[in-house]
Amino acid sequence: MLHREYDTQVCSVARSLEVVGERWTLLLIRSVMLGARRFDDLQAHTGVTRSVLTNRLRRLVDEGVLERRPYQERPTRHEYVLTEKGLGLWSVIEHLRQWGDEHYPEPAGPPRVIVHRDCGGHPDAHLLCDRCGAALTARDVRAEPGPGLAARGIARTPGEPVPTST
Amino acid sequence: MLHREYDTQVCSVARSLEVVGERWTLLLIRSVMLGARRFDDLQAHTGVTRSVLTNRLRRLVDEGVLERRPYQERPTRHEYVLTEKGLGLWSVIEHLRQWGDEHYPEPAGPPRVIVHRDCGGHPDAHLLCDRCGAALTARDVRAEPGPGLAARGIARTPGEPVPTST
């Protein structure tokens, strides 16, 4: 377990990475942010094995990053939603996205475009809206499939909602 | 290698994590940002094994995140400094730090305090200075040991420069 390995560090970065630094964990949180909430969707979205996915989801629920909610009875099935604490990781994910878009660009353009719901602008390098200047958080934005995704023949990924406009 | 596992993903977050998502990598970048530049300092700072450290440093140099620079001749010794690309990860690290400070606080207070060099303010949730409002980047700030580090009897960590003021 990663959290044992980092345990000698007196550092808030290390402490955060104990929770989200395991392989696949940040990618999984990204998938939930993109709208994949159910186990099978999350598996298809990440490509991770079922056992690793089970393990990562359990840990994120234990840490209060995700909440496990029933969405169906007989048989009971659950979906995973981000808590307030989990939504607080949006800034980490969004900066990883921006860094990837800048340094490892897809030839056709960004795979996803993050849009300010209120005005249609985009988050800048300080997560302020580049159109209206609003200080953005996870709740203020939606992700839309970008040209980089379309160029690979992918309209959207499993569990992601169909965008309301194009 | 993580980058092979994430390779089916058309996603800039996944692409970034191929480079910095391996165990220890973000923690290592944090250590370089805190001022640890030499192999032995980085090993002491992270507690990682020499072979893992060698592997991670090589990959980060190959990807242009770190630059390997000689600081001594006969025998030649090298130190590792962040490139512009590497400095671009400051926002990721800083948001991980803020998330850790918020959700896993040290009883005595934050282990490190990030200070705007020009005015003594601190980065807010959008990495703007909470005193003067400047949009902060890696070059604009320094890290100082905070009360959480002192309470554990650690004045500073190997390779970290002594702060110029307290």
User: Stretch A145-151: mean pLDDT, rounded?
Assistant: 88
Q: Do B12 and A135 touch (CB under 8 A)?
A: no
Cβ neighbours of A2 in B, within 8 Å: 23
pLDDT of B162 reads 52
Ranges A115-119, A153-157, B39-43, B71-75: which has the least confidence: A153-157
- Residue A97 has its nearest CB partner, among B13, B101, B106, at B13
Is A38 near chain B, with CB under 8 Å?
Answer: no
Tell me the C-alpha distance between B123 and B125, whole Å. Answer: 7
At B165 the pLDDT is 42
Nearest to B123 by CA among B146, B147, B143: B143
Per-residue pLDDT of chain B (166 residues; tens, 9 = 90+): 344 556 667 899 999 999 999 889 999 999 999 999 999 999 998 889 999 999 999 999 999 999 999 999 999 999 999 999 999 999 999 999 999 999 999 999 999 999 999 999 999 999 999 999 999 999 999 999 999 988 877 766 666 655 444 3
What pLDDT score does B159 carry?
64
Q: CB of B33 within 8 Å of any CB in chain A?
A: no
Which element (helix H / strand E) includes B68?
strand B66-72
Q: Do B97 and A12 touch (CB under 8 A)?
A: yes
Provide the residue ranges of all domains of chain A, joining segments of one domain with +: 2-83, 89-150
Q: What is the interface pTM, i.e. ipTM, of the complex?
A: 0.91
User: Rounded to an integer, what distance in angstroms lies between the CA atom of residue B101 and that of residue B121?
Assistant: 17
Q: Are strands A77-82 and B66-72 parallel, antiparallel or unpaired?
A: unpaired
| Record: contact B128-A125, CB cut-off 8 A | no
Strand pairing class (B141-145; B112-116): antiparallel
More confident residue, B123 or A153: B123
User: What is the least distance, in Å, from the CA of B131 to any CA of chain A?
Assistant: 16
Question: What's A35-93 look like in SS3?
Answer: CCCEHHHHHHHHCCCHHHHHHHHHHHHHCCCEEEEEEECCCCEEEEEECHHHHCCHHHH
Question: Does the beta-carbon distance from A91 to B93 stay under 8 Å?
Answer: no
Average model confidence (pLDDT) across chain A:
89
pTM metric for this prediction = 0.91
- Helix axis angle for A25-33 and A12-20, nearest 10°, is 80
pLDDT on residue A166: 36
Give Cα A22 distance to the centre of its chain: 15
Residues of chain B found within 8 Å of residue A42, distances taken between Cβ atoms: none
Rounded to whole angstroms, what are the CA distances from B18 to A73, A98, B130?
A: 38, 14, 33
DSSP B95-150: HHHHHHHHHS--TTS-SEEEEETTTS--B-TTSBBTTT--B--GGGEEEEE-HHHH
Q: CA B97 to CA B124: how far, in whole Å?
A: 12
The whole-number pLDDT of residue A164 equals 47
A39-71 per-residue burial string, b: 16 or more CB within 10 A, e: under 16 = bebbbebbebeeebbebbbebbeebebbbeeee
**pLDDT tens-digit profile of A54-98?**
999 999 999 999 999 999 999 999 999 999 999 999 999 999 999
* Predicted pLDDT of residue B9: 79
The CATH label, of 3.30.70.890, 3.40.50.1220, 3.50.50.60, 1.10.10.10, for the domain at B2-86 is 1.10.10.10
pLDDT at B33: 95
Average pLDDT over residues A26-34: 95
To probe the interface with B, which of A1, A2, A6, A13 has the most B CB atoms within 10 Å? Answer: A13
Q: Which fold has domain A2-83?
A: Arc Repressor Mutant, subunit A (1.10.10)
Contact B127 A126 (CB under 8 A): yes
How many helical (H) and strand (E) elements, i.e. helices and strands, does chain A have?
8, 4
